[in-house]
Amino acid sequence: MKAENNCIVIFGASGDLTHRKLIPALYNLYKIGRLTENFSVLGVARSELNDETFREKMRNALIEHEKANGAMLDKFCSHLYYQAVNTSDARDYGKLVPRIDELHDKYQTCGNTLYYMSTPPSLYGVIPECLAAHGLNTEEYGWKRIIVEKPFGYDLKTAHALDIQIHRFFEEHQIYRIDHYLGKETVQNLLVLRFSNGLFEPLWNRNYIEYVEITGAESIGVEDRGGYYDGSGAMRDMFQNHLLQVLAMVAMEPPAIINANSMRDEVAKVLHCLHPLTQEDLKNNLVLAQYVKAEINGKTVAGYLQEKGVPEDSNTETYMALRCEIDNWRWAGVPFYVRTGKRLPVRVTEVVIHFKTTPHPVFSKSAPENKLIIRIQPDEGISMRFGLKKPGAGFESKEVSMDFRYADLASPSLLTAYERLLLDAMKGDATLFARTDAVHACWKFVQPILDYKAERGRVYEYEAGTWGPTEADKLIAKAGRVWRKPSGAMKKKV
Ligand code: BG6
């Protein structure tokens, strides 16, 4: 289905996200025919650009990131416009009114407007108020939707305050809180795997599942984002949003149908069931750490404290591992081990469902564990691991696997996360956007961790290029378990 005709207004148009992700996503949607000719993009920022210079910048970005060229690139760029605005001054937003009107007239977009806040978070409360001061939020003529980038707040209190601020000018149905993990094809596939296969449904609970592992590993460091990252850390940057959303997809109850409300009701419900962590729980179930200088493949890699923009005494965690539980009938007593970190050996996001073993060992040697590995990225796929007889005498078993890889599908041209989510927002489908109650539940769960961190001393250290500190191994070893050490690619052949 195509997007509805609309004018997309991007605040923060001179920023990194706009030229690295948003414009390329819109270009690709246009290229594959998911945008009609009736759309326009109005870039807004403080920089004194004009339509021509903005087009030139975006054109260069598309050539660099998308290898775009030819008539398609020219046609797409002709839909781009720019308006310089002092985004923290309500009076200056007056300049937007005639520009947006003119674009609606020119492209017959019936007043439909999608605002995208790709700005520093300090403007997330300001922009809606300034838009409202000029009536740019009302839905009398066409719909008005506003996309909010993460982070939605800095902690429970500020997230709540931000919600109140935005809700003063936009109703919940107009607000699209983007979490790009929900736009990933394999995260959505988790829902299809779970809810369209009778095979898994009876097994997906505490009776058959021993524990669940969720890993969000990155091999890169903080690169040139040290300034931002230091105020955020792994907990706010990856865990509070992306990984808790993945956890919700794994653990939620089946919605009666897939639409924005029923789906988001279930997500919020399960997040509200996360077992609240006390300071005592955290002593035993949480590990925070920071990477230090090391040699990787013969090259010296800087430690976190040597990264640009990071204060030399920073205590920000670049790694976290947590054992948590969900207090409901389906999951009571099943541990969820979640870890994420920068400068780990490989970039991989995956969920591993560890099934219980047989009730009684029939063969002398213990059989391999049954596992379902859901690889979110890279090399997206699903792998079922189980034991079969080793050829030859006796009854020894060995682990074999049944693998599905997305790359093997006939048409692997998947939409990227931003393409999918921008398209959904333009169609008015909020299913894959975070609703206020879910965001609130995530912060409520994370707040004790933030408090705990503020109270304790230095975080642990781990060498860049390793799987984190030994304390994380000890955390999972308490139950006689070990973290899976995934490689960059899924196993190809048994
Ligand atoms: C972003 C974080 O939200 O997600 C980054 O701010 C992180 O620090 C990125 O690198 C990871 O996204 P992906 O899609 O590369 O896994």
Quick check: CB of 380 below 6 Å from ligand 1? no
d(CA 325, CA 322): 10
DSSP 8-state secondary structure symbol assigned to residue 109: -
Residue nearest to atom 9 of ligand 1 (CA): 238
Instruction: For residue 342, report the distance from its CA to the centre of ligand 1, in Å.
Output: 10
**C-alpha distances in Å from residue 158, one per residue of 52, 129, 342, 455:** 39, 17, 26, 20
pLDDT for res 65 = 87
Burial of 313 (0-12, 13-18, 19+ CB in 10 A): exposed
d(CA 95, CA 10): 15
Quick check: CB of 218 below 6 Å from ligand 1? yes
* H, E, C per residue of 356-389: CCCCCCCCCCCCCCCEEEEEEECCCEEEEEEEEE
Q: Output the CA angle 292-310-223, nearest 5 degrees.
A: 75
pLDDT for res 492 = 45
Instruction: For residue 234, report the distance from its CA to the centre of ligand 1, in Å.
Output: 10
Catalytic residue among 79, 242, 354, 440: 242
Instruction: For residue 181, report the distance from its CA to the centre of ligand 1, in Å.
Output: 9
Quick check: CB of 149 below 6 Å from ligand 1? no
Name the residue type at position 381. Answer: G
pLDDT for res 489 = 57
Secondary element (H or E) of residue 11: strand 6-11
Which residue from 219, 482, 171, 189 is spatially nearest to 345, judged by alpha carbons? 219
Q: Is 218 within 8 Å of 304 (Cβ atoms)? A: no
User: Can you point out the beta strands (E) in 270-335?
Assistant: 286-292, 294-296, 299-301, 319-324
Instruction: Give the list of residues 6+ apart from residue 457 with CB closer than 8 angstroms, or none.
Output: none
pLDDT for res 180 = 94
393: number of Cβ within 10 Å: 6
pLDDT for res 69 = 87
Measured over the CA atoms of residue 299, residue 304, residue 310 and residue 312, the dihedral's sign is: negative
Instruction: For residue 238, report the distance from its CA to the centre of ligand 1, in Å.
Output: 7
Quick check: CB of 237 below 6 Å from ligand 1? yes
pLDDT for res 449 = 96
Of the chain, the end-to-end C-alpha distance in Å amounts to: 39
Instruction: For residue 339, report the distance from its CA to the centre of ligand 1, in Å.
Output: 14
Average pLDDT, consecutive stretches of 10 residues, N- to C-terminus, the chain (494 residues): 92 94 96 94 96 97 91 96 96 97 96 96 96 96 96 95 97 96 91 92 96 97 92 96 97 93 96 96 97 93 96 97 98 98 96 93 80 93 91 87 84 83 96 95 97 92 97 97 82 42
Counting atoms of ligand 1 from 1, which one is nearest the CA of 228? 6
φ/ψ of residue 228, rounded to 5: -65, -50
> Which of the listed residues 218, 228, 348 should we mutate to test ligand 1's pocket, taking the one with most ligand atoms within 8 A of CB?
218
> Which of the listed residues 225, 238, 342, 351 should we mutate to test ligand 1's pocket, taking the one with most ligand atoms within 8 A of CB?
238
pLDDT for res 494 = 32
Residue nearest to atom 5 of ligand 1 (CA): 237
Q: Is 373 within 8 Å of 350 (Cβ atoms)? A: yes
| Residue 360 annotated among the catalytic residues of the structure | no
Query: Strand 209-217 relative to strand 336-341: parallel, antiparallel, unpaired?
Result: parallel
pLDDT for res 490 = 56
DSSP 8-state secondary structure symbol assigned to residue 216: E
481: number of Cβ within 10 Å: 18
Quick check: CB of 307 below 6 Å from ligand 1? no
Q: Is 472 within 8 Å of 303 (Cβ atoms)? A: no
> Which of the listed residues 180, 229, 351 should we mutate to test ligand 1's pocket, taking the one with most ligand atoms within 8 A of CB?
180
Instruction: Give the list of residues 6+ apart from residue 249 with CB closer than 8 angstroms, or none.
Output: 187, 190, 191, 267
Residue nearest to atom 13 of ligand 1 (CA): 181
Counting atoms of ligand 1 from 1, which one is nearest the CA of 242? 3
Q: Is 131 within 8 Å of 117 (Cβ atoms)? A: no
Residue nearest to atom 4 of ligand 1 (CA): 238
Burial of 350 (0-12, 13-18, 19+ CB in 10 A): buried
Reading the block at residue 426, the tokens are 């333009």
DSSP sequence for 140-204: SSS-EEEEEPSPS-SSHHHHHHHHHHHHTTS-GGGEEE--GGGGSHHHHHHHHHHHS-TTTGGGS
